[in-house]
Chain A
Amino acid sequence: MSEYNFDYLDELEAEAIHILREVAGQFEKPALLFSGGKDSITLVRLAEKAFRPGKFPFPLVHIDTGHNFEETIEYRDEMVARIGEKLIIGSVQKSIDEGKVIEQTGKNASRNALQTVTLLDTILENKFDACIGGARRDEEKARAKERIFSVRDEFGQWDPKRQRPELWNIYNGKIHKGENVRVFPISNWTELDVWNYIRRENIALPSIYFAHQRDCITRNGQLMAASPFLNMDSDDIVESKKVRFRTVGDMSCTAAVESDADLIDDIIQEISDSKISERGARMDDKVSEAAMEDRKKGGYF
């Protein structure tokens, strides 16, 4: 067995492919939730490895807040054209226009919370029974307890106290009508694992992950991209900084970090040295100690 050189990235990859194929085998109408962020981009790569030369047995679904970084949308459209798979877009703007949600007001207004409604509507409309997402257990402590196959009721709610036991590598995808399952194939990956995999696989990413010059303001101690989507006033001082983003949410809730890392090796070095966790750059988690748990219970990704 001397040539058995199966390292940790191979093992994580093989596990994720196994999970994706279980989704294909167990569900009638699965979907892959695609945000344009590095985690969902990694999922697309894993799906290629799981199903090529066949087509994906699911479409990609993007919940579009309308407050995107334009680089993300460009990337999304190029990628979809390259891989030749179907893309379904759920629009938060449409949910607002239809009166299903009400736009937040005030300085910290964000469409992040509104996405949940659009996501649930999109699931309902397309009758999706499984949604594959790029969440990882290292992101946040509520996520640390979530199953790889995580059942949601018809209101999209996660009940952390009634999770199914998940044993060995056997995933129970049985559900009742109206329920759906969120599936997290890269649960066991860390942020650094994802970056190392992206480097190894030579996967292209939206340019906002790399250091670039951008107009920013400082909000609650964090750097935010100046944009029409941010409710700015005269107290906000716009400064040009060299920054990059560690996660890709919408522009009103994703904070930048000052960085010179414009190559993937530099980013990996920066993360290895970093003392701020990835979700630390998400204002949406800052509301209370149980912020993520509450949003997940409500149907969030």
Chain B
Amino acid sequence: MNILKFFTAGSVDDGKSTLIGRLLYDTDSILADQLEALQSSNRKNDDGTIDLAILTDGLRAEREQGITIDVAYKYFQTEKRKFIIADTPGHIQYTRNMVTGASTANLAIILIDARNGVVEQTIRHSYLVSLLGIKHIVVAVNKMDMMDYSETVFSAIKEKYKALALNLGLKDVTYIPVSALKGDNIVQPSANMDWYEGESLLHFLEKVDTDLQDKTTQARMPVQWVIRPQTDELHDYRGYAGRVLSGTFKVNDNVTVLPAGTSSTISKIEFFENELDQALAGQSVTIHLKDNIDISRGDTLVNSSALPMESKLIEADLCWMDGRALDPSIMYLIQHNSKTTKCKINEILYKVDINTLEKHAADEFKLNDIGRVIIKTADALAFDLYGDNRANGSAILIDSRTNLTVGALMFRASVE
């Protein structure tokens, strides 16, 4: 059994919270006391049934306003898989929350209201999915019950979306007609749409491949911490602790330490009390090298045969996440895995209108703005392109005046 992390893109009006509530409800993931609280709540659907959306509306302000304003994480499990849902708000003023939820997901459910079809919001959400490099996309056409479960309606929406997917370069798209309210094709196949031959949403989620996306030769491990017991018996022990971002490290592999550029050979890989032959993407391990070289937090171990880019000048997509606009005249901090260094935004190449996907020149960057910039860092970063290696191709910007995370960066090219 493994884990699938997915996020849902849509608005309250599309029935997003109802969809998640339905997944939880129909997989028996709602416990009796939660159900009791749900039943005693005074929010009901028009026909008097329980409003499943309440399950995901966590914060008081959200309950009062009836909207989702933050990312809420929900968990459920079937016999086949553990699922982590990032429930994100769909409204344009919460674009940053959606980017946050999408950043850790390997599948996105794009919710389309069958009554409205592909709308501005669909374009925006699909653009964000492509920007964040999410591999699998499910287009769930919801509220089919309100359109008489019509195949024609579904097919027309599918055709329209295909054009959008092509434009955005989204390759792996699956289309499912559903009614979250009535439960059609969520867990059980729908009896109301016998023209649909595909699987229910849950069955699809259970079997979609979740192999770590970075099936690559680029072995990368940022050093988080150096383990040095300095006891009598472990006097010379020096282990580099970190989580393998991508690729595989094996004992006897030649590795390079960046940014120093020094090379050595892996003498031992440890995980707690065990010695391993290899460490794979996703594993947290401790690596030992044959040579005694100076390595500390912020350095990255990489395999010498597939070096990353190294640069102080990087072209990147930026999503701005703070109420205070980007100020090109000040220094920010950039955090790239375990490395933090100063940086400046050298140039704004363009901004994207995320409703129309048009690019235009800009000299300011405000909350929820997305576009392409050139960033200049104080220390060189050892990175890969986001499209090849999500984990080593992403970073955050921190405003050192407020310490807030103000930007999400996806590296697209080295400028030097």
B288 to chain A, nearest CB (A): 12
Q: Does B297 contact A (CB under 8 A)?
A: yes
Stretch in A62-70, A172-180, A203-211, A230-238 touching the partner = A172-180
**CB pair B59 A293 closer than 8 Å:** yes
> Contacts of A175 on B, CB cut-off 8 Å?
403
Interface membership of A160, Cβ < 8 A? yes
Say yes or no: B104 contacts A168, CB within 8 Å: yes
Query: Which of B228, B280, B284, B408 counts the most chain A CB atoms within 10 A?
Result: B284
Q: Is the interface of A mostly helix, strand, loop or mixed?
A: loop
Residues from chain A with a CB closer than 8 A to the CB of B58 are 141-142, 144-145, 293
Question: Do A25 and B280 form a contact, CB below 8 Å, given A145-B58, A274-B31?
Answer: no
- A169-B282 in contact (CB<8A): no
User: Least Cβ distance of A222 to chain B in Å?
Assistant: 11
Question: 1/0 per residue B58-89: CB within 8 Å of A?
Answer: 11110100000111111101000010100000
- Interface, chain A (partner B; CB < 8 A): 1, 4, 6-8, 10-15, 17-18, 21-22, 24-25, 48-55, 57, 137-138, 141-142, 144-145, 160-161, 163-170, 172, 174-176, 187-188, 190, 192-193, 274-277, 280, 289-290, 293
Cβ–Cβ contact A145 & B72, under 8 A: yes
**15 A–B pairs (Cβ distance < 8 Å), ordered by A:** A8-B82, A15-B284, A21-B243, A22-B338, A52-B273, A137-B75, A138-B75, A141-B55, A160-B59, A165-B100, A169-B243, A170-B396, A174-B333, A187-B73, A290-B63
- Shortest A134–chain B CB gap in Å is 16
* Interchain CB contact under 8 A, B394 and A174: no
- A8-B3, A167-B396, A274-B31 as given contacts; A14 in contact with B60, CB under 8 Å: no
**CA A55 to CA B225, docked complex, whole Å:** 12
Q: Which of A174, A192, A274 contacts B403 (CB 8 A)?
A: A174
Least distance between A257 CB and chain B CB atoms (Å): 12
Q: Which residues of B are found within 8 Å of A160, using beta-carbon distances?
A: 59, 61, 70
Pick the contact of B225: A25, A167, A187 (CB < 8 A). A25
* Nearest CB of chain B from residue A12's CB, rounded to whole Å: 8
Closest to A290 in B: B60
Q: Which residue of A lies closest to B70 (CB)?
A: A145
Contact indicator A8/B61 (Cβ below 8 Å):
no
Instruction: Tell me, rounded to whole Å, the shortest Cβ–Cβ distance linking A130 to chain B.
Output: 14
Q: From B1, B31, B237, give the contact of A7 (CB < 8 A).
A: B1
| Min CB gap B196→A, angstroms | 31
Given contacts A6-B280, A170-B395, 16 further A-B contacts (CB under 8 A): A6-B282, A7-B2, A8-B82, A17-B284, A21-B224, A21-B241, A21-B284, A51-B227, A144-B58, A166-B100, A168-B396, A174-B400, A187-B73, A188-B75, A280-B31, A289-B37
Partner of A161, one of B61, B234, B395: B61
* Contact assessment for B394 and A168 in the assembled complex, using a CB-CB cutoff below 8 Å: yes
Q: How far is the CB of A108 from chain B (nearest CB, A)?
A: 18
Contacting residues, chain B, for A17 (C-beta < 8 A) = 243, 284
Cβ–Cβ contact B1 & A8, under 8 A: yes
Bound CA–CA A145/B73 (angstroms):
6
B283 at the A interface (CB under 8 A): yes
Are B3's CB and A280's CB within 8 A?
A: no
A142 to B59, CA, bound (A): 6
With a CB–CB cut-off of 8 A, which chain B residues contact A52? 227, 272-273
Q: How far is the CB of B80 from chain A (nearest CB, A)?
A: 11
Q: How far is the CB of A179 from chain B (nearest CB, A)?
A: 8
B229 at the interface (CB under 8 A from A): yes
Q: Contact between A14 and B335 (Cβ–Cβ < 8 Å)?
A: no
A18–B224 contact, CB under 8 A?
Answer: yes
Specify which chain B residues have a CB less than 8 angstroms from the CB of A174 in the assembled complex.
333, 398, 400, 403
A279 nearest CB neighbor, chain B only: B33
Question: Considering only CB atoms, which chain A residue lies closest to B223 in the complex?
Answer: A25
Residue from B241, B272, B337, B405 in contact with A165 in the complex, judged by beta carbons closer than 8 Å: B405
- Interface contact B403-A176, CB-CB below 8 Å: yes
Complex CA distance for A1 and B37, rounded to whole angstroms: 46
Distance between Cα atoms of A168 and B243 in the complex (Å):
13
| Complexed CA–CA distance, A51 and B403 (Å) | 28
For B232-268 the 0/1 string (1 means CB < 8 A from A) is 0010010001110000000000000000000000000
- Chain A residues lying within 8 Å of B100, measured Cβ to Cβ, are 165-167
Q: Does B391 contact A (CB under 8 A)?
A: yes
- The residue that A167 contacts in the complex, of B3, B33, B57, B394, with Cβ under 8 A, is B394
**B33 proximity list for chain A (CB < 8 A):** 275-277, 280
Instruction: Name the residue of chain B whose CB is nearest to the CB of A9.
Output: B1
Measured between beta carbons, the chain A residues less than 8 angstroms from B57 are 141
Q: Are B283 and A14 in contact (CB under 8 A)?
A: yes
Most buried by A among B273, B396, B408: B396
A225 to chain B, nearest CB (A): 20
Q: For residue A192, which residues in chain B have a CB less than 8 angstroms away from its CB? A: 77
Q: How far is the CA of A227 from the CA of B242 in the complex (A)?
A: 47
Residues from chain B with Cβ under 8 Å of A145 in the complex: 58-59, 70-73
B70 touches A25 (CB 8 A): no
Interface assignment of B321: CB less than 8 Å from any CB of chain A: yes
Assembly CA distance A19 to B96 (angstroms): 23
Which residue in chain B gives the minimum CB-CB distance to A18? B243
B146 contact set on A, CB distance < 8 A: none
- The smallest beta-carbon distance between B176 and chain A, in angstroms, is 25
Say if the beta carbon of B218 comes within 8 Å of chain A: no
The CA-CA distance from A6 to B391 in the complex, in Å, is 18
- Report yes or no: B241 in contact with A166, Cβ–Cβ below 8 A: no
The residues of A that contact B93 with a CB separation of less than 8 Å are none
Interface centre among A1, A52, A170, A276, by most chain B C-beta atoms within 10 angstroms, is A170
> Which residues 389-403 of B have a CB within 8 angstroms of A?
390-391, 394-396, 398, 400, 403
Measured between beta carbons, the chain B residues less than 8 angstroms from A170 are 335-337, 394-396
